């Protein structure tokens, strides 16, 4: 029996988020195994034109709720739109990123649809025509398989940056279907009037293509200055290990790891990070990993592509200067 998969696609600054493109790729893989089709859902203002882009990742249909009232997230409106999309798409699987939006919205959608839900999954597979999600428990020390055997759609949130993003070999022109216009005028209990974003020129960790991270060896919050200088030169985001965060050197928003953010950059530079399992779980899918550590026996050297044994306070300024020269050429 064929089963369709529906992916809730998130956008930022007029573009589809990288994490949603990854989920579209995974959704296409699942739909193929289930004998069904991948379908996408976009909600926002000015997102109509983005619907066609989902075809490159295998979507046969894209449901679009495009209205000025949908520009800012509202859980009541968004819930109604997602439920309508599930019904129209005849979805047996609903996927969303475990972002702040996904974590808030999907439980309400599951409750409205009276169905089960699996959260924070890091891998997905199919067994007996049902999706099996694997998720970490006990702060990443163990993993458990989760299934939703008796209800549909199977509602699942997935950790960002755990899947590969890849376009299909034969992209299609998806059918773009407008939905949800009636929810623009529905009464709501709360409304976002304005969003004031923090001023930062650095890219978001979960979307960054280059990340430089520091561990406890950075010794103080003030010493992150050398990390910021390197990041500014190469256009990177700055991360931190759990040890650095626990020591008060960096805020939790910068933490990379099992209990922090999962990242998937093209280049990850780990500075003074030993390579604990908890940290590796958050950056193991990085395309190229460079490790800088004074301890030649640090576990991170078993996982990196390039390793530098040395004092980060000497190595990082040298790297910064060399990158600056190269980028000027």
What is the pLDDT, as a whole number, of residue 103? 94
Report CA Rg, the chain. 21
* pLDDT of the residue at 198: 67
Phi-psi sector, 144: left (phi>0), alpha (psi -120 to 50), beta: beta
Averaged pLDDT of the chain: 92
Domain 210-328 has CATH 2.60.40.1190: no
- Say if domain 3-185 classifies as CATH 3.40.50.620: yes
**For residue 169, how many other CB atoms are within 10 A of its CB?**
6
Give 258-287 pLDDT, tens digit per residue. 888 888 899 999 999 999 888 998 898 899
Q: Would the pLDDT of 138 be above 80?
A: no
Per-residue pLDDT at 246 exceeds 90: yes
Least confident residue range of 32-41, 74-83, 159-168, 188-197:
188-197
pLDDT of residue 236: 94
Closest to 242 in 3D by CA, of 206, 203, 208, 281: 281
- Whether residue 24 is predicted with pLDDT greater than 70 in this model: the reply is yes
Alpha carbon separation from 131 to 18, 33, 92, 106, 187 (Å, rounded): 23, 10, 10, 17, 36
- For residues 1-22, average pLDDT: 91
pTM for the predicted model, two decimal places = 0.80
Q: Is the pLDDT confidence value at 203 over 80? A: no
Compute φ and ψ for 142, nearest 5 degrees.
-135, 160
Same fold, 3-185 and 210-328: yes
DSSP per position, 170-220: S---PEEEE--GGGGGS--S-----------SSPPTTT-SEEEEE-GGG-S
Structure tokens at 58: 């295998």
Residue 106 pLDDT = 97
Residue 177 CB: number of other CB atoms within 10 A?
Answer: 15
Domain coordinates in residue numbering, the chain: 3-185, 210-328
Q: Model confidence over 93-110: pLDDT tens digits?
A: 999 999 999 999 999 999
CA distance 119 to 91: 18
């Amino acid at each position: 029996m064929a089963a369709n998969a529906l992916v809730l696609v998130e956008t930022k600054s007029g573009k589809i988020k990288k994490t949603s493109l990854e989920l579209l790729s995974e959704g296409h893989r699942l739909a193929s195994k289930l004998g069904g089709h991948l379908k996408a859902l976009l909600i926002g203002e000015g997102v109509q034109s983005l619907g066609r882009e989902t075809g490159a990742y295998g979507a046969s249909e894209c449901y679009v709720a495009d209205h000025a009232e949908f520009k800012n997230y509202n859980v009541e409106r968004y819930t109604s739109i997602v439920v309508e999309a599930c019904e129209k798409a005849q979805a047996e699987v609903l996927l969303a990123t475990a972002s702040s939006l996904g974590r808030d919205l999907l439980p309400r959608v599951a409750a409205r649809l009276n169905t089960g839900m699996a959260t924070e999954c890091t891998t997905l597979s199919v067994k007996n025509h049902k999706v099996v999600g694997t998720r970490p428990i006990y702060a990443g020390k163990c993993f458990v398989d989760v299934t939703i055997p008796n209800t549909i759609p199977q509602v699942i949130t997935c950790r960002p940056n755990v899947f590969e993003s890849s376009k299909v070999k034969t992209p299609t022109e998806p059918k773009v279907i407008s939905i949800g216009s009636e929810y623009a005028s529905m009464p709501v209990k709360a409304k976002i009037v304005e969003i004031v974003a923090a001023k930062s020129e650095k890219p978001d960790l979960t979307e960054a293509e280059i990340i430089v991270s520091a561990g406890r060896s950075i010794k103080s919050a003030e010493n992150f200055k050398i990390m910021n200088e390197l990041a500014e030169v190469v256009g990177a985001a700055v991360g931190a290990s759990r040890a650095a965060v626990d020591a008060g050197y960096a805020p939790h928003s910068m933490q990379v790891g099992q209990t922090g953010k999962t990242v998937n950059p093209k280049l990850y530079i780990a500075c003074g990070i030993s390579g604990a399992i908890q940290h590796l779980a958050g950056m193991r899918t990085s395309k190229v990993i460079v490790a800088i550590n004074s301890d030649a026996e640090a576990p991170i050297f078993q996982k990196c592509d390039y390793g530098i044994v040395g004092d980060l306070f000497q190595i990082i300024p040298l790297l910064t200067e060399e990158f600056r020269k190269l980028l000027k050429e």
